[in-house]
Chains A and B, each alone.
Chain A
Amino acid sequence: MRSRNVLTGVLLGAGSVAGTLVFRRRLARRQERVDVYFGDGSMLSLAKPGEAEPLLRRARQILDLAG
């Protein structure tokens, strides 16, 4: 009986961890961001609202214009 309770607890814990990971991943994917790739193979990712905002504004303008 006790081992069954332990197993249920472990399964619930594992399920909640997996659910949190999936939720955070989806949330991160939905976040507005700018990824810039350069010729030398380096990459710059701007996700903080302050630093990415001017580029995001221009991109929104492009989306509006392109329809």
Chain B
Amino acid sequence: MDVKKIAKLAHIPITEKEEETLTKGFHATLKVVDMLFSVDVKGTQPTSQVTGLENVLREDVIDGSRQFTQEQALANAPRKHNGYFVVDQILEDD
């Protein structure tokens, strides 16, 4: 497992030192997980939800009860400007 590559994909900043400890840790974890592969899963479907629910849908109505004011939306923002959230300039186009 390429720790540097994964850290990049996951947008997790890591130092050189962390790279080392993380690699060791992952090997240990994956070893524990290894036991999974001794199980015969032939013909078994994966479960991504245990509820068995289907078709849980919502009517197309405006629900203002959860809607934030601009102030509420921005209240915890580290940086804001004229009602917008702010990030450093993004150079490439969308």
A binds B: no
What is the interface of chain B, defined by CB distance below 8 A to chain A? none
